[in-house]
Amino acid sequence: MKRTMFFLDQKDMPTKWYNILPDLPVALPEDLHPATGKPVTPDDLAPLFPMELIMQEFSPERYIEIPEEVQDILLTWRPTVLHRAYKLEKALDTPAKIFYKYEGTSPAGSHKLNTAVPQAYYNKKEGVKRISTETGAGQWGSALSIACSFFDIECKVYMVKVSFNGKPYRRIMMETYGATCVASPSMDTKAGREMLAKDPNCNGSLGLAISEAVEDAVSRDDTHYALGSVLNHVLLHQTIIGEETIQQMEMAGEYPDILVGCVGGGSNFAGLFIPWLRDKISGKKPNTRVICVEPTATPTLTKGPYAYDYGDVAGLTPLLKMYTLGHDFMPPPVHAGGLRYHGMAPIVSHLYNLGIIEAQAVPQLSTFEAGVLFARTEGILSAPESTHAIKVAIDEAVKCRESGESKNILICLSGHGHFDLSSYDAYLQGKLSDLEFPEDKMKEALDKLPKVG
């Protein structure tokens, strides 16, 4: 029998998150206060987040215990399965061994629930009754809605209008779990009203939806804000993915030579690769390659500068040192909605800047081609975000065929594509094209980068 799935027993689910901050060879640049330009303090963040999450954001501790109540909920779908992609390998006629960690079996359909649950938990513990957030493609909004339903917290989601209209199923899903979901820009916030006054037909952007959700939270006493990617504590919660794969690759008797994942804000892939970086940074496995994959239409790591910028359009968030296309850059409408963000997690940006991890940009059509091949061999219909990772994994496997090398490739497959079938339809009907990156628009946006230091 060829073992295609590696199940980790529930008793072996990791009970600690791994915090890379103390192990970074160079300290992570500090976040700055948007008004003063001084390093952000825990108190600055208190209107937005519960104190335990804030402390995680700055924590010097290498390991942070996962609270038992959080573990109990994670056990609803975790540990997730590590798969060996025999059928894809055969179709590619490659000597490479391809593994994929599949996060699509969570009730939310993606990795996002890994952080939504602890975020809801710490808010509940601090007595918070209501959480506001934004969502692009809807993955994060769904995850937070589910987490809030588990902890009986009210949830308000600002959903980028183009997705709100194009993906009604995601909206319904959030409502099924009891959340309220509005199209952003909305009339519910000043940021939204101002944008609608300027452009009543504005399709919205993730940066603007973040402005609305943050404004909602700071303007109400009973409400906190939650973010689904980018921040240190979010990446921390996702390290459970990588910690599980370390045990599962051991079950498979293999060590990965190449890790590959898609990056929008960076959280799914960082969740996978950060635990593996211990061996790379310590020098035990210096040659492990970590490849971040982004769309050529939103090439944050491969074309943006490494600079301080806001996380949102209105400039309400702290200034983060990151690769950025400019906070008011409007990304082209690539179908991988989760990858349409102007910035990148500071930790991912820092690691890339240090040369510890790599990045590649791939055009949209090639990712759908990879996704269809994956569906027809491995069966799983992946999210358009995840197909970016599949595309590069296939490229690497083909290189192995050509060189005769048998490398081990580990993919982070962040979610399923059940709510993205209209994109597959457009691809199959030949109606999809590769989108140009508007370099001039980026330059305009970069001119507006905040002056720092």
**115 three-class SS:** helix
Beta bridge partners of 157: 133, 181
276 binds a copy of itself (CB under 8 A): no
The CB-of-184 to a copy of itself minimum distance in angstroms stands at 20
SS3 280: helix
Candidates 7-15, 34-42, 133-141, 268-276; binding stretch for a copy of itself (CB under 8 A):
7-15
Q: Is 90 in the site for a copy of itself (CB under 8 A)?
A: no
| Closest listed residue to residue 366, CA positions, set 453, 277, 295, 431 | 295
State the number of binding residues for a copy of itself (CB under 8 A).
48
The pairing of beta strand 82-84 with beta strand 180-184:
unpaired
Q: Which is nearer to a copy of itself, 114 or 349 (CB)?
A: 114
Residues in Cβ contact with 375 at an 8 Å cutoff, skipping those fewer than 6 apart: 381, 382
Residue 43 burial (10 A CB sphere; 0-12, 13-18, 19+): exposed
65 scored as a contact of a copy of itself (CB under 8 A): no
For residues 233 and 17, give the distance between their C-alpha atoms in angstroms, rounded to a whole number. 10
Q: Which of 181, 424, 435, 442 binds a copy of itself (CB under 8 A)?
A: 424
Q: Does 172 bind a copy of itself (CB under 8 A)?
A: yes
Report d(CA 75, CA 192) in Å as an integer: 38
Q: Does 77 bind a copy of itself (CB under 8 A)?
A: yes
- Distance from chain centroid for Cα 101: 15
Q: What are the distances in angstroms from CA 391 to CA 93, 277, 361, 366, 447?
A: 16, 23, 11, 7, 33
Taking CB under 8 A as the binding criterion, the range among 49-57, 187-195, 354-362, 374-382 that sits at the site for a copy of itself is: 374-382
Among 190, 376, 443, 448, binds a copy of itself (CB under 8 A): 376
Closest CA to 229 of 316, 144, 125, 345: 345
Binding range to a copy of itself, per CB under 8 A, among 17-25, 39-47, 107-115, 231-239: 107-115
Using the contact rule CB under 8 A, the part of the chain among 3-11, 184-192, 294-302, 331-339 near a copy of itself is: 3-11
Stretch that binds a copy of itself, among 130-138, 186-194, 373-381, 444-452 (CB under 8 A): 373-381
- Tokens (6 digits) for 368: 């759908």
Tell me whether residue 379 or residue 453 sits nearer to a copy of itself (CB atom): 379
131 binds a copy of itself (CB under 8 A): no
Single out the residue of 175, 405, 439, 444 in contact with a copy of itself (rule: CB under 8 A): 175
Per CB under 8 A, residues contacting a copy of itself are 1-5, 7, 9-11, 71-72, 75-77, 83, 87, 105-109, 146, 149-150, 168-169, 172-173, 175-178, 372, 375-381, 416, 418-419, 421-422, 424-425, 428
